[in-house]
Amino acid sequence: MTGFDYAIRTATIQDFTAVINRFTTAMMVSDNTTELDRELFEPDRTLVAEDAGSIVGVAQAFTRTLSVPGTVSPAAHVTGVAVAATHRRMGILSRIMRRQLAEVPEPVAVLWASQPGIYERFGYQASVYGHRFEAKLAEIRLTKAPVEGRLCELSVEQAASELPPILKRLQLDRPGVSGRSDQLWKQRLADPPERRDGRMPRQLIGYRSPEGDLEGYVFWRGTRQRGSDDGGNTVEVEELVAATGSAYRALWQHVLTMDLATRLVSWHAAVDEPVRQLVGNPRALGVRSYDALWLRIVDVAAALAQRRYACAVDVVLEVSDDILPANNRRFRLTGDRSTASCVETGDEPDLSLSVAELSGVYLGGRRLTEYAAVGRVHEHREGALAEVTTAMGWPVAPRSIEVF
């Protein structure tokens, strides 16, 4: 049998348990979902493949926002993609992913890829790279600075009330950051014991300015390193967001100088993370790079018109898209730091490329010249490649702070 022999349909709320079971089984992880997860489930944005009444393939999407250069935009947050082990290599995933893209109403879709090669077939590209720190605290040589404000412990209720504006500020400062509704904040702050994997409860720490305003926060928890050479503990930084330089310095100084700890592990740092400027031995941070957020432009004209550009640009792009025919067009893109327009045109192209290359550079963290060097972007007007490469960049690297 092939993937065309199985029905693909939109899920219902009654499918929640089966959808989660299909995904967790495929990922080989335990199902520790909660009632809040059920409340966040969007059945009308979930596709399932059925075989004799059993769900054998799934793909979900959540309705969220994403910061892009110069603004914040709606973006489909794709997650929970899986096919039963008994139904692999039958084309089910291709049918689900293609239908999902055809139905996405937002200009872009994003996901975290468990296997990158899978999603490249559907036009996705790694648009955000992240850094993981595995720091040796004794070797960091922190450059300490006076703390003007004060650190404070936050209750879950305080965090739910005071942290959302700080995240929104980060969205304005950096591309790649996903927004959170009140329900998503409730999920993020939940810390049920069954999800701790033997670690201590999550610590919620905030930084208040001398005037008492909350300007940053960090989520961290400790882990006992059993069997390690030095017997020390590890500080796991789950999320650190700061709206001011003072908050940023104070929060990093806090987690890098924790008593009874020898290591720090931190995910979701930007590739240009300023913490390197706070330590005397950056090598001790133990930086490891990874592909973070994958992005797919769904509507070329809308996506390019909604973001802003590092410098003035006026160019005709000839775009190809094997999955969404509406994107197979020539577009005139004009824009700068304050406005942008992207409309279909019959003019001769300055550059030719596929939607995948545009998706890779969309958030400003990658360069078109990277793709041009291997023949994936073709220049028809001299200077056009340099012009668009510069315009598509952004002063700061994109950052994704959570796996969804």
Catalytic residues: 119, 404
Q: Which amino acid is at 257?
A: T
Asked if 177 and 401 count as a contact pair (C-beta separation under 8 A), the reply is: yes
What is the rounded distance in angstroms from the CA atom of residue 127 to the CA atom of residue 363?
6
d(CA 83, CA 50): 11
Binding-site residues, in ranges, read 81-83, 89-94
Amino acid in position 386: A
Q: Which parts are annotated binding residues for acetyl-CoA? A: 81-83, 89-94
Among candidates 111, 53, 106, 105, which has minimal Cα distance to 82?
111
Pairing state of beta strands 287-291 and 329-335? unpaired
* 254 φ/ψ sector (left φ>0, alpha ψ -120 to 50, else beta): alpha
Longest pairwise C-alpha distance within the chain: 68
Task: Answer yes or no: are the C-beta atoms of 81 and 61 closer than 8 Å.
Answer: no
DSSP E strands in 71-186: the ranges are 71-83, 108-112, 125-126, 129-136, 150-153
Length, in residues, of the chain: 404
What CA–CA distance (Å, rounded) separates 97 from 59?
A: 7
Please check whether residue 218 is in contact with residue 205, taking contact to mean a CB–CB distance below 8 angstroms: yes
Q: Among 142, 147, 374, which residue's Cα sits nearest to residue 258?
A: 142
